[in-house]
Homo-oligomer: A and B are copies of this chain.
Amino acid sequence: MTYLFNNPTKFADELIEGYVAAHRNQLRLVEGGVIRSHKAKPGQVVLVIGGGSGHYPAFGGFVGQGLAHGAALGNVFAAPSAQQICNVAQAVDAGGGILFCYGNYAGDVLNFNQAQERLRAMGIDVRTVVITDDIASATLIEKNKRRGIAGTLPVFKAAAVAADTEKSLDEVFRIATDANDRVRTLGVAFSGCTLPGANKPLFEVATGMMEVGMGIHGEPGLYRINAPTADGLAEMLVNKLLAEIPSAILNPDAARIGVILNGLGTVKYEELFVVYRQVDRLLFERGLTIVQPVVGELITSFDMAGLSLTLFWINDELEQTWIAAADTPAFYRSNIAYSNIGTLEASSYRNKRSLETGSPNSQSAAAIVFLALKAASKVINEMSEELGRLDAIAGDGDHGIGMQRGITAAVAAAKEARVARTGVGTLLKAAGDAWSDRAGGTSGALWGIILHNLGDALGDKITPDASAVAVGIASALRDVINRGKAQLGDKTLVDVLHPFSAALTTTASQGLSIVDSWAIATDIANEAAQATKNLRPRIGRARPHAEQSLGTPDPGAISLALIIRAIEKTLNHL
């Protein structure tokens, strides 16, 4: 879907104008396209690229230092006219000849060839390298019929670096041709795209399916399959690309390659990184050395969901052009060296709590708390989907997963504490730290606070009584309110913790045992959790659907009540 436009027929003109307005320090607008704001050196070759609009950053985004000198920009998905191309070419011509470089599409070939003829008739030396990297669009025997997609970038870079180092037009042509011979791309798509002003997609891919080899204007691909996982897609792309290694490569198992993982529009950077993680591993396993990978949007198709993987088999000469610095509005490369040799290793600065032995009485209490935590964990695991469902109504649906993650870590930490024979206070605090660390978010932090306060109140020496427990829970409540900023009635776990704490305090002051005190408070907590269905969340908290949640209890309140109930059952079965 394209949401923002004025008159759809003026969309391309207006986007180019806005683009140049945003980059006045680097670009100049000319009729037909954009050029670098700084002139080329007299006598040098210049690089002119171009194509239809709707593929940003291709092609206007690639004008600037280290890349193109000018780009001719057509209408949406339409080639620029020969006149536009001539105009851009004449604006950047520095007297050393011009290299045209663009993707292999009928309209672009037609117009660039006409422009080439006209410029040659004016006495300007023009050569052309048409980019043909898309392995899905024709067989290797007909490589010159293949379309050009994200492999344009390494070819542009090769040509630009050669031109800016004042090589002759013959040399620039040779290097760009060599780059094109060594680049291979394969793309996949999960959806089509909708042009400005259109009320339906230009083309579509059925939900849950993936088309392999679809072109950036929706040109038919090779076949459609069920959409794979991120890792599955990485494997498919790597395998298919490695099945066609350019003939110039002598030892494909120890080669150096540039890699591009290109997003086609609405596949997000987060997804690209998940896929790249596996691409990186697979290429490393093959013994290939990755040189300066690029993960991002380089040639798009409006809001098409899809991506392409490009392998660029470099030699010494092309390694230099590939790693060379560039500074254009859409592509920047500094000259910090990159290497994928070795594996990623996360450093940890974790300050481990030393697990001191507790008193025998406190160890006994720790044993009971450990059982209670395990029981709570069991309930949370069973109820995780339901908690997620409740959370999806007012929040982002991850409450069940977050609770599972937290309580699982808490039980593991409690187990370690048991092995170290700690008191109940240390066990609770270790469990709380693990919970908040692993779960993160608001609920992880709050559960860490609750267990910490309880741990502090019970300590590592005494046999806890109902009064110590009530003190611990009351202190947890205060801390949760202070740090979490939620008040009673805000539809959070405070709405359970508050009456639960009050009931514990009252029953403890009446001299009830822990078991009896906890049992009475448990019923009150569970009623309070259900009653949160009548509340609205306070405005301003991160709740997507505050209004819709009326009638549904708060998932944080429910999970607290579930855990309280699980502990009650543990106490009763002792």
Contacts and interface: CB of A to CB of B under 8 A. Distances in A.
Interface stretch (A249-257, A331-339, A462-470): A331-339
A448 B82 contact: yes
A76 B398 contact: yes
A74 B441 contact: yes
Given A275-B18, A327-B334, A445 B81 contact: yes
Interface stretch (A372-380, A522-530, A541-549): A541-549
A219 B539 CA distance: 9
Given A9-B405, A202-B396, A227-B3, A86 B445 contact: no
The bracket for how many chain A residues form the interface is 35 or more
A195 B395 CA distance: 12
A442 interface: yes
B270 A53 contact: yes
Contacts of A433: 83
A17 B56 contact: no
Interface string A434-458: 0011111110111010000000000
B230 A6 contact: yes
B268 A56 contact: yes
Interface in A191-208: 191-192, 195-196, 198, 202-203
A349 B445 contact: no
B445 A271 contact: no
A131 to B, nearest CB: 15
A74 B406 CA distance: 13
Contacts of A405: 9
B198 A270 contact: no
A347 B31 contact: yes
A517 to B, nearest CB: 29
B29 A271 contact: no
B546 A220 contact: yes
Interface string A56-78: 11000100000000000011111
Contacts of A219: 540-544
Interface stretch (A20-28, A164-172, A362-370, A416-424): A20-28
A180 interface: no
A11 interface: yes
A4 B445 contact: no
Contacts of A16: 273
Nearest to A297: B269
A485 B105 CA distance: 11
A340 interface: yes
Nearest to A295: B22
A76 B271 CA distance: 12
A116 to B, nearest CB: 11
A331 to B, nearest CB: 9
A542 to B, nearest CB: 5
Contacts of A122: 351
Contacts of A439: 81
Contacts of A215: 542
Contacts of A440: 74-75, 78-81, 84, 107, 111
A274 interface: yes
A344 interface: yes
Contact of A18 (B273, B302, B401): B273
A505 interface: no
A442 B217 contact: no
B542 A217 contact: yes
Interface string A294-318: 1101001011010100000000000
24 contacts: A5-B230, A5-B271, A9-B405, A15-B271, A15-B273, A18-B295, A21-B280, A21-B344, A24-B338, A25-B336, A25-B337, A75-B440, A76-B398, A81-B438, A81-B439, A82-B445, A106-B486, A114-B436, A202-B396, A202-B544, A219-B540, A219-B544, A220-B546, A270-B302
Given A84-B437, A86-B349, 6 more contacts: A2-B268, A6-B274, A18-B276, A26-B336, A31-B348, A218-B544
